[in-house]
Structure 1
Amino acid sequence: MTTNKNNSVPKKDDNYTHNINRNNERSLDRRGFMKTLAGAAGVFAVASLPWGALAAKELMGLADKEYPHQKITNVNDIAVGDSVEFHFPSEHDSAVLIRLEESKYVAYQNACTHLRCPVYWVKEQKEMVCPCHHGVFDVNTGAPTAGPPRRALPEIVVHVEDGAIFAVRVKRYEA
Protein backbone atom coordinates (compact mmCIF):
# COMPACT_ATOMS: atom_id res chain seq x y z
CA MET A 1 0.00 0.00 0.00
CA THR A 2 1.31 3.41 -0.92
CA THR A 3 0.52 6.84 0.36
CA ASN A 4 0.53 10.02 -1.64
CA LYS A 5 1.97 13.41 -0.71
CA ASN A 6 -1.13 14.41 1.36
CA ASN A 7 -0.65 11.41 3.62
CA SER A 8 -3.95 9.91 2.47
CA VAL A 9 -4.65 6.49 1.07
CA PRO A 10 -5.15 6.25 -2.69
CA LYS A 11 -8.71 5.49 -3.78
CA LYS A 12 -7.87 2.00 -5.14
CA ASP A 13 -6.50 0.94 -1.72
CA ASP A 14 -9.30 2.56 0.29
CA ASN A 15 -11.55 -0.46 0.74
CA TYR A 16 -13.35 0.23 3.98
CA THR A 17 -15.73 -2.71 3.73
CA HIS A 18 -13.06 -5.44 3.70
CA ASN A 19 -10.10 -3.65 5.16
CA ILE A 20 -7.34 -5.81 6.57
CA ASN A 21 -5.24 -2.91 7.71
CA ARG A 22 -7.37 -1.35 10.46
CA ASN A 23 -5.29 1.81 10.50
CA ASN A 24 -6.76 2.58 7.10
CA GLU A 25 -10.37 2.39 8.34
CA ARG A 26 -12.48 5.49 8.04
CA SER A 27 -13.71 6.80 11.36
CA LEU A 28 -17.05 8.47 11.83
CA ASP A 29 -16.52 11.75 13.62
CA ARG A 30 -19.25 14.04 14.99
CA ARG A 31 -19.56 16.01 11.77
CA GLY A 32 -19.90 12.83 9.72
CA PHE A 33 -22.43 11.44 12.14
CA MET A 34 -24.54 14.62 11.97
CA LYS A 35 -24.42 14.60 8.16
CA THR A 36 -25.56 10.97 8.14
CA LEU A 37 -28.32 11.73 10.63
CA ALA A 38 -29.53 14.76 8.65
CA GLY A 39 -29.45 12.74 5.43
CA ALA A 40 -31.44 9.89 6.99
CA ALA A 41 -33.99 12.37 8.39
CA GLY A 42 -34.33 13.93 4.94
CA VAL A 43 -34.88 10.53 3.33
CA PHE A 44 -37.55 9.64 5.90
CA ALA A 45 -39.27 13.02 5.47
CA VAL A 46 -39.38 12.70 1.70
CA ALA A 47 -40.54 9.07 1.93
CA SER A 48 -43.42 10.00 4.25
CA LEU A 49 -44.73 12.90 2.14
CA PRO A 50 -47.12 10.79 0.03
CA TRP A 51 -48.64 9.21 3.14
CA GLY A 52 -49.00 12.57 4.89
CA ALA A 53 -50.66 14.05 1.82
CA LEU A 54 -53.05 11.10 1.67
CA ALA A 55 -53.93 11.48 5.36
CA ALA A 56 -54.46 15.24 5.00
CA LYS A 57 -56.68 14.70 1.98
CA GLU A 58 -58.73 12.15 3.92
CA LEU A 59 -59.10 14.44 6.94
CA MET A 60 -60.00 17.49 4.85
CA GLY A 61 -62.76 15.65 3.03
CA LEU A 62 -64.11 13.76 6.03
CA ALA A 63 -67.16 16.02 6.44
CA ASP A 64 -68.24 15.37 2.87
CA LYS A 65 -67.52 11.65 2.84
CA GLU A 66 -70.70 9.69 2.61
CA TYR A 67 -70.65 5.95 3.17
CA PRO A 68 -73.04 3.43 1.66
CA HIS A 69 -76.27 3.79 3.64
CA GLN A 70 -76.49 1.07 6.24
CA LYS A 71 -79.76 -0.04 7.77
CA ILE A 72 -79.65 0.07 11.56
CA THR A 73 -83.16 -1.06 12.50
CA ASN A 74 -86.83 -0.56 11.75
CA VAL A 75 -88.68 2.34 13.37
CA ASN A 76 -91.20 -0.09 14.93
CA ASP A 77 -88.42 -2.12 16.58
CA ILE A 78 -87.13 0.66 18.84
CA ALA A 79 -89.25 2.34 21.52
CA VAL A 80 -88.83 5.95 22.63
CA GLY A 81 -85.94 6.06 25.12
CA ASP A 82 -84.37 2.82 23.93
CA SER A 83 -81.09 2.31 22.13
CA VAL A 84 -79.66 -0.05 19.52
CA GLU A 85 -75.99 -0.89 19.08
CA PHE A 86 -74.61 -1.20 15.55
CA HIS A 87 -71.33 -0.88 13.62
CA PHE A 88 -70.64 2.04 11.28
CA PRO A 89 -68.82 2.95 9.02
CA SER A 90 -66.94 -0.37 9.30
CA GLU A 91 -67.53 -3.51 11.31
CA HIS A 92 -64.78 -2.37 13.73
CA ASP A 93 -66.46 0.95 14.58
CA SER A 94 -69.04 0.43 17.30
CA ALA A 95 -71.94 2.89 17.50
CA VAL A 96 -75.21 3.45 19.32
CA LEU A 97 -78.57 4.76 18.06
CA ILE A 98 -80.96 6.34 20.57
CA ARG A 99 -84.60 7.23 19.98
CA LEU A 100 -85.19 10.38 22.02
CA GLU A 101 -88.68 11.26 20.82
CA GLU A 102 -91.27 9.88 18.44
CA SER A 103 -89.41 11.26 15.43
CA LYS A 104 -85.99 12.25 16.88
CA TYR A 105 -83.06 9.89 16.58
CA VAL A 106 -79.40 10.46 17.48
CA ALA A 107 -76.46 8.20 16.84
CA TYR A 108 -72.86 8.38 18.01
CA GLN A 109 -69.75 6.29 17.81
CA ASN A 110 -69.67 4.83 21.28
CA ALA A 111 -65.93 4.97 21.96
CA CYS A 112 -65.13 7.56 24.62
CA THR A 113 -63.00 10.41 23.31
CA HIS A 114 -60.80 10.18 26.40
CA LEU A 115 -59.33 6.66 26.17
CA ARG A 116 -61.73 4.88 23.76
CA CYS A 117 -63.62 2.94 26.43
CA PRO A 118 -67.17 1.93 25.42
CA VAL A 119 -69.91 4.46 26.13
CA TYR A 120 -73.34 3.22 27.25
CA TRP A 121 -76.82 4.76 27.09
CA VAL A 122 -78.38 4.86 30.58
CA LYS A 123 -82.10 5.20 29.93
CA GLU A 124 -83.07 6.03 33.54
CA GLN A 125 -80.61 8.93 33.76
CA LYS A 126 -81.04 9.95 30.10
CA GLU A 127 -77.31 10.29 29.56
CA MET A 128 -74.44 8.50 27.91
CA VAL A 129 -71.86 7.23 30.38
CA CYS A 130 -68.28 6.00 30.09
CA PRO A 131 -67.73 3.69 33.08
CA CYS A 132 -63.91 3.71 32.83
CA HIS A 133 -63.32 7.22 34.17
CA HIS A 134 -66.88 8.39 34.88
CA GLY A 135 -67.23 10.42 31.71
CA VAL A 136 -70.73 11.66 30.90
CA PHE A 137 -71.97 12.91 27.51
CA ASP A 138 -75.02 14.98 26.59
CA VAL A 139 -77.32 12.80 24.52
CA ASN A 140 -78.54 15.67 22.32
CA THR A 141 -75.11 16.94 21.25
CA GLY A 142 -72.61 14.25 22.24
CA ALA A 143 -70.63 16.91 24.16
CA PRO A 144 -68.96 15.89 27.43
CA THR A 145 -70.69 17.15 30.58
CA ALA A 146 -68.56 15.43 33.25
CA GLY A 147 -65.33 13.53 33.65
CA PRO A 148 -62.05 13.70 31.77
CA PRO A 149 -63.31 13.66 28.12
CA ARG A 150 -62.73 17.01 26.37
CA ARG A 151 -64.17 16.30 22.91
CA ALA A 152 -67.67 15.37 21.85
CA LEU A 153 -68.52 11.90 20.59
CA PRO A 154 -68.42 11.67 16.79
CA GLU A 155 -72.01 11.97 15.59
CA ILE A 156 -73.42 9.65 12.99
CA VAL A 157 -75.98 11.22 10.67
CA VAL A 158 -79.09 9.07 10.43
CA HIS A 159 -81.90 9.13 7.91
CA VAL A 160 -85.38 7.62 8.21
CA GLU A 161 -86.82 6.16 5.04
CA ASP A 162 -89.70 3.72 4.45
CA GLY A 163 -89.97 2.80 8.14
CA ALA A 164 -86.27 2.05 8.51
CA ILE A 165 -83.42 3.99 10.09
CA PHE A 166 -80.19 4.26 8.08
CA ALA A 167 -76.70 5.45 9.05
CA VAL A 168 -75.44 7.83 6.36
CA ARG A 169 -72.13 9.42 7.43
CA VAL A 170 -69.94 10.36 10.37
CA LYS A 171 -69.76 14.06 11.17
CA ARG A 172 -66.30 15.54 11.45
CA TYR A 173 -64.87 16.54 14.84
CA GLU A 174 -65.53 20.16 15.69
CA ALA A 175 -62.68 21.97 17.40
Structure 2
Amino acid sequence: MAEKNNNIPFNEDHYTHNINRDNERSLDRRGFMKTLVGAAGVFAVASLPWGVIAAKELSDLGDKKYPKQKITDITSFAIGDSVDFAFPGEHDSAILIRLSENKYVAYQNACTHLRCPVFWKKEDGEMLCPCHHGKFDVETGVPIAGPPRRPLPEIYVKVENGAVYAVGVKRYEA
Protein backbone atom coordinates (compact mmCIF):
# COMPACT_ATOMS: atom_id res chain seq x y z
CA MET A 1 0.00 0.00 0.00
CA ALA A 2 1.28 3.40 -0.94
CA GLU A 3 1.85 5.87 1.78
CA LYS A 4 0.47 9.42 1.36
CA ASN A 5 2.90 12.20 1.76
CA ASN A 6 1.22 15.00 3.72
CA ASN A 7 4.26 17.17 3.86
CA ILE A 8 4.17 20.68 2.46
CA PRO A 9 6.37 20.57 -0.61
CA PHE A 10 8.01 23.97 0.16
CA ASN A 11 9.10 26.16 3.02
CA GLU A 12 6.38 27.85 5.19
CA ASP A 13 7.88 31.25 4.53
CA HIS A 14 6.91 30.97 0.88
CA TYR A 15 4.91 34.02 -0.27
CA THR A 16 1.72 32.02 -0.86
CA HIS A 17 1.41 31.15 2.81
CA ASN A 18 1.34 34.68 4.23
CA ILE A 19 -2.37 34.66 5.06
CA ASN A 20 -1.99 33.86 8.76
CA ARG A 21 1.15 35.85 9.51
CA ASP A 22 1.74 37.22 12.99
CA ASN A 23 0.50 40.77 13.70
CA GLU A 24 -1.89 40.59 10.77
CA ARG A 25 -5.54 41.35 11.47
CA SER A 26 -8.16 39.16 9.92
CA LEU A 27 -11.59 40.65 9.28
CA ASP A 28 -14.49 38.35 8.68
CA ARG A 29 -18.07 39.34 7.83
CA ARG A 30 -19.12 39.64 11.46
CA GLY A 31 -16.12 41.81 12.29
CA PHE A 32 -16.76 43.98 9.24
CA MET A 33 -20.41 44.51 10.25
CA LYS A 34 -19.40 45.40 13.82
CA THR A 35 -16.94 47.95 12.45
CA LEU A 36 -19.56 49.35 10.07
CA VAL A 37 -22.17 49.72 12.83
CA GLY A 38 -19.58 51.26 15.13
CA ALA A 39 -18.56 53.80 12.50
CA ALA A 40 -22.21 54.69 11.83
CA GLY A 41 -22.70 55.21 15.57
CA VAL A 42 -19.66 57.47 15.78
CA PHE A 43 -20.93 59.56 12.84
CA ALA A 44 -24.42 59.79 14.37
CA VAL A 45 -23.06 60.97 17.72
CA ALA A 46 -20.63 63.37 16.04
CA SER A 47 -23.42 65.02 14.03
CA LEU A 48 -25.77 65.39 17.01
CA PRO A 49 -24.45 68.81 18.13
CA TRP A 50 -24.99 70.21 14.61
CA GLY A 51 -28.57 68.91 14.61
CA VAL A 52 -29.22 70.59 17.96
CA ILE A 53 -27.80 73.88 16.67
CA ALA A 54 -29.92 73.68 13.49
CA ALA A 55 -33.09 72.88 15.48
CA LYS A 56 -32.44 75.83 17.79
CA GLU A 57 -31.92 78.17 14.83
CA LEU A 58 -35.11 76.98 13.12
CA SER A 59 -37.21 77.24 16.27
CA ASP A 60 -35.99 80.79 16.94
CA LEU A 61 -36.82 82.10 13.46
CA GLY A 62 -40.28 83.30 14.46
CA ASP A 63 -38.92 85.23 17.44
CA LYS A 64 -35.92 86.69 15.66
CA LYS A 65 -35.52 90.43 16.10
CA TYR A 66 -34.35 92.53 13.20
CA PRO A 67 -32.88 96.01 13.48
CA LYS A 68 -35.11 98.74 12.10
CA GLN A 69 -33.71 99.87 8.75
CA LYS A 70 -34.65 102.99 6.83
CA ILE A 71 -35.64 102.27 3.23
CA THR A 72 -36.67 105.64 1.82
CA ASP A 73 -38.31 108.99 2.55
CA ILE A 74 -42.00 109.30 1.70
CA THR A 75 -41.48 112.60 -0.13
CA SER A 76 -39.18 110.99 -2.70
CA PHE A 77 -41.42 107.98 -3.21
CA ALA A 78 -44.47 108.41 -5.50
CA ILE A 79 -47.54 106.15 -5.56
CA GLY A 80 -46.90 103.19 -7.87
CA ASP A 81 -43.12 103.41 -7.59
CA SER A 82 -40.77 100.81 -6.19
CA VAL A 83 -37.45 100.91 -4.38
CA ASP A 84 -34.86 98.14 -4.20
CA PHE A 85 -33.10 97.66 -0.86
CA ALA A 86 -31.29 94.99 1.14
CA PHE A 87 -32.95 93.42 4.20
CA PRO A 88 -32.39 91.72 6.63
CA GLY A 89 -28.76 91.26 5.53
CA GLU A 90 -26.68 93.20 3.04
CA HIS A 91 -26.96 90.35 0.50
CA ASP A 92 -30.74 89.83 0.86
CA SER A 93 -32.31 91.88 -1.92
CA ALA A 94 -35.82 93.19 -1.40
CA ILE A 95 -38.34 95.46 -3.05
CA LEU A 96 -40.69 98.09 -1.56
CA ILE A 97 -43.78 99.15 -3.52
CA ARG A 98 -46.06 102.07 -2.69
CA LEU A 99 -49.59 101.01 -3.61
CA SER A 100 -51.53 104.05 -2.34
CA GLU A 101 -51.14 107.13 -0.19
CA ASN A 102 -50.74 105.08 3.00
CA LYS A 103 -50.18 101.51 1.78
CA TYR A 104 -46.71 100.04 1.33
CA VAL A 105 -45.73 96.42 0.69
CA ALA A 106 -42.27 94.89 0.73
CA TYR A 107 -41.00 91.46 -0.22
CA GLN A 108 -37.72 89.69 -0.61
CA ASN A 109 -37.44 89.82 -4.36
CA ALA A 110 -35.84 86.44 -5.08
CA CYS A 111 -38.38 84.25 -6.88
CA THR A 112 -39.41 81.22 -4.84
CA HIS A 113 -38.97 79.00 -7.90
CA LEU A 114 -35.27 79.38 -8.79
CA ARG A 115 -34.25 82.57 -6.95
CA CYS A 116 -34.30 84.84 -10.02
CA PRO A 117 -34.92 88.53 -9.25
CA VAL A 118 -38.53 89.69 -9.19
CA PHE A 119 -39.33 93.06 -10.75
CA TRP A 120 -42.20 95.53 -10.31
CA LYS A 121 -43.86 96.43 -13.59
CA LYS A 122 -45.62 99.68 -12.74
CA GLU A 123 -47.53 99.97 -16.04
CA ASP A 124 -49.29 96.61 -15.52
CA GLY A 125 -49.31 96.59 -11.72
CA GLU A 126 -47.54 93.21 -11.66
CA MET A 127 -44.59 91.63 -9.93
CA LEU A 128 -42.78 89.55 -12.54
CA CYS A 129 -40.03 86.95 -12.56
CA PRO A 130 -38.53 87.12 -16.08
CA CYS A 131 -36.77 83.72 -15.87
CA HIS A 132 -39.88 81.54 -16.23
CA HIS A 133 -42.69 84.11 -16.52
CA GLY A 134 -43.76 83.85 -12.89
CA LYS A 135 -46.17 86.45 -11.54
CA PHE A 136 -46.93 87.37 -7.95
CA ASP A 137 -49.89 89.21 -6.45
CA VAL A 138 -48.59 92.59 -5.32
CA GLU A 139 -51.01 92.74 -2.35
CA THR A 140 -50.04 89.35 -0.84
CA GLY A 141 -46.92 88.07 -2.60
CA VAL A 142 -48.78 84.88 -3.57
CA PRO A 143 -47.89 83.40 -6.98
CA ILE A 144 -50.63 83.84 -9.59
CA ALA A 145 -48.87 82.51 -12.72
CA GLY A 146 -45.88 80.46 -13.76
CA PRO A 147 -43.94 77.77 -11.92
CA PRO A 148 -43.55 79.40 -8.45
CA ARG A 149 -45.70 77.67 -5.81
CA ARG A 150 -44.72 79.54 -2.64
CA PRO A 151 -45.35 83.20 -1.82
CA LEU A 152 -42.55 85.75 -1.69
CA PRO A 153 -41.32 86.28 1.87
CA GLU A 154 -42.99 89.42 3.15
CA ILE A 155 -41.05 92.15 4.89
CA TYR A 156 -42.87 94.12 7.57
CA VAL A 157 -42.67 97.87 7.03
CA LYS A 158 -43.45 100.78 9.32
CA VAL A 159 -43.94 104.46 8.46
CA GLU A 160 -42.45 106.90 10.98
CA ASN A 161 -41.40 110.55 10.77
CA GLY A 162 -41.85 110.76 6.99
CA ALA A 163 -39.81 107.66 6.21
CA VAL A 164 -40.50 103.96 5.51
CA TYR A 165 -38.60 101.41 7.62
CA ALA A 166 -38.15 97.67 7.31
CA VAL A 167 -38.73 96.10 10.74
CA GLY A 168 -39.06 92.32 10.24
CA VAL A 169 -39.58 89.33 8.00
CA LYS A 170 -42.80 87.28 8.04
CA ARG A 171 -42.24 83.61 8.82
CA TYR A 172 -44.22 81.20 6.68
CA GLU A 173 -45.21 77.88 8.22
CA ALA A 174 -44.70 74.84 6.03
**Shorter-chain TM-score tier:** 0.7 to 0.9
Q: What is the aligned partner in structure 1 of residue 106 from structure 2?
A: 107
Q: Distance in 1 between matches of 2:26 and 2:133?
A: 58
> What is the root-mean-square deviation in Å for CA atoms of aligned residues?
1.6
From the superposition, tell whether residues 45 and 71 of structure 1 become closer, same or farther in structure 2 (CA, over 3 Å): same
Instruction: Provide the secondary structure at the position in 2 that maps to 1:149.
Output: coil
Q: Larger C-alpha radius of gyration, 1 or 2?
A: 2
Letter paired with 1:91: E
Letter paired with 1:40: A
- When structure 1 is superposed on structure 2, of 22-31 and 121-130 the one drifting more is 22-31
- Equivalent in 5, 20, 24 of residue 23 of structure 1: 20
How high is the TM-score relative to the length of structure 1? Answer: 0.81
Tell me which stretches of 4 or more aligned residues in structure 1 moved more than 6 Å.
Answer: none
1:22 Cα deviation after fit = 5.5
From the superposition, tell whether residues 106 and 42 of structure 1 become closer, same or farther in structure 2 (CA, over 3 Å): same
Total equivalences in the alignment: 155
Stretches of structure 1 lacking an aligned partner (at least 5 in a row): 1-20
Instruction: Provide the secondary structure at the position in 1 that maps to 2:42.
Output: helix
Stretches of structure 2 lacking an aligned partner (at least 5 in a row): 1-17
From the superposition, tell whether residues 23 and 113 of structure 1 become closer, same or farther in structure 2 (CA, over 3 Å): same
User: Deviations along 1:9-57, whole A, 9 cap, x unmatched?
Assistant: xxxxxxxxxxxx6633324344333333322222222222222222222
Q: What is the aligned partner in structure 2 of residue 39 from structure 1?
A: 38
Q: Distance in 2 between matches of 1:107 and 1:72?
A: 10
Instruction: Provide the secondary structure at the position in 2 that maps to 1:101.
Output: coil
The answer to whether structure 1 residue 143 and structure 2 residue 146 are counterparts is no
Q: Percent identity?
A: 75
